Chain A
Amino acid sequence: GDSVTQTEGQVTVSESKSLIINCTYSTTSIAYPNLFWYVRYPGEGLQLLLKVITAGQKGSSRGFEATYNKETTSFHLQKASVQESDSAVYYCALGDLGYQNFYFGKGTSLTVIP
């Protein structure tokens, strides 16, 4: 089947420290997976943070980056120095360019302590 796994439900990091949120995916039906990170700030809907549609490429936005690793089927989200304003819920997602197969991870709630 197709699925996305985020192992951490909650993460707490001190401001200016580094961050990694783990994401792995599995697919048997999507020939060319597209990978996404979405972010949901309190009181708002999900926003696209970054996307990568080609294996081996890296996406980046707002200081966050993630590399599409086909060998390890991973798409971990990283940031070198987090800020309090980064506190939000982060969702990893797997989709297919031309079809409606789309899968979300359970989300990781990030709290940045000042």
Chain B
Amino acid sequence: EAAVTQSPRNKVTVTGGNVTLSCRQTNSHNYMYWYRQDTGHGLRLIHYSYGAGNLQIGDVPDGYKATRTTQEDFFLLLELASPSQTSLYFCASSGQPNYAEQFFGPGTRLTVL
């Protein structure tokens, strides 16, 4: 049973559109993360959270909002999508005993036309 799931797996929207990416983890982890993956850049951290109601800013937060509604659920919101946000998005979780080991979802491919 997959411990980190993401939906949708693929999404196409237009410039200025509103997009919500969803992530759920069943690892009972405290930490959850949103990354974007672009060729030549590796994974870049957008936002992360250490618990319900908490949000921390990552390295590339501009144009993104996020919300952690429960320990299990973490959402990434693009309120005015732009073509520069076309990317592959990964969600991950981590927790005890080793916070440094992250568990990833399968990814969401977003295309902004």
Contacts and interface: CB of A to CB of B under 8 A. Distances in A.
Given A100-B48, A106-B40, A46 B104 contact: yes
B99 A106 contact: no
Interface in A17-54: 34, 36, 38, 43-48, 51, 53
Given A45-B90, A46-B90, A106 B101 contact: no
A107 interface: yes
B31 interface: yes
B110 to A, nearest CB: 15
Interface residues of B, number: 23
A31 B99 CA distance: 15
B42 A105 contact: yes
A47 B104 contact: yes
Q: Secondary structure of the B side of the interface?
A: strand
A104 B58 CA distance: 13
A31 B48 CA distance: 22
A106 B92 CA distance: 17
A100 B32 CA distance: 10
Contacts of A105: 42
Interface string B38-49: 001111010010
Nearest to B9: A43
Contacts of A96: 99-100
Given A45-B90, A45-B107, A106-B42, A95 B4 contact: no
27 contacts: A9-B40, A34-B98, A34-B100, A38-B104, A44-B107, A45-B6, A45-B90, A45-B105, A46-B90, A46-B92, A46-B102, A47-B104, A48-B103, A53-B98, A95-B99, A95-B102, A96-B99, A97-B98, A97-B100, A98-B99, A99-B99, A100-B31, A100-B99, A104-B42, A104-B43, A106-B41, A106-B42
Interface of B: 4, 6, 31, 40-43, 45, 48, 50, 56, 90, 92, 98-107
